């Protein structure tokens, strides 16, 4: 609780202030009223999702490297553009793994995974 409350900072943007207040309130409510034990099979689901997420990361890096190499062979002056375009595609691939990110948040909450 102390860590959550100490991370709240002043802000002059109403949307950001509301978002921070809602998150802090939800975290405190869950800590007080929520279960202390993780849901059944959370650790197994998280490990499977972590393995699948590695495949997304490998796919993202592969796309980025293929774009960079392809750009180099096509035209050396186009390498930065190709790297940026294929880098963005790689980031989109990695960040599209919503299930992993949700399970990681729960795993950190219940102490299965260390804070990232």
pLDDT tens-place string over residues 36-83: 788 889 999 999 999 999 999 999 999 999 888 888 788 777 778 888
The contacts of residue 94 (CB under 8 Å, 6+ apart) are 53, 56, 57, 59, 60
Same domain, 4 and 50: no
Same domain, 41 and 91: yes
Q: Name which residue leads in pLDDT, 96 or 114.
A: 96
- The predicted pLDDT at position 51 comes to 94
For the chain, give the mean pLDDT: 84
Same domain, 103 and 58: yes
- Please count the structural domains in the chain: 2
Same domain, 53 and 14: no
Which pLDDT band holds residue 26 (cuts at 50, 70, 90)?
confident
Query: What range defines the domain where residue 60 resides?
Result: 37-116
Q: For residues 37 and 112, give the distance between their C-alpha atoms in angstroms, rounded to a whole number.
A: 11
CB 35 within 8 A of CB 104: no
- The CA-to-CA distance between both ends of the chain, in Å, stands at 18
DSSP 92: H
CB 59 within 8 A of CB 99: no
């Amino acid at each position: 609780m102390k860590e959550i409350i100490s991370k709240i900072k002043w802000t002059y943007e109403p949307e950001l202030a509301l978002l921070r207040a809602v998150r802090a309130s939800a975290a405190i409510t869950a800590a007080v009223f929520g279960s202390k034990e993780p849901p059944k099979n959370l650790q197994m689901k998280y490990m499977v999702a972590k393995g699948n997420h590695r495949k997304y990361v490998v796919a993202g890096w592969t796309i980025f490297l293929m774009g960079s190499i392809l750009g180099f062979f096509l035209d050396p002056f186009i390498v930065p553009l190709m790297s940026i375009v294929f880098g963005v595609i790689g980031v989109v691939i990695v960040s599209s793994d919503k299930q992993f990110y949700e399970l990681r948040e729960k795993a950190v909450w219940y102490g299965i995974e260390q804070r990232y």
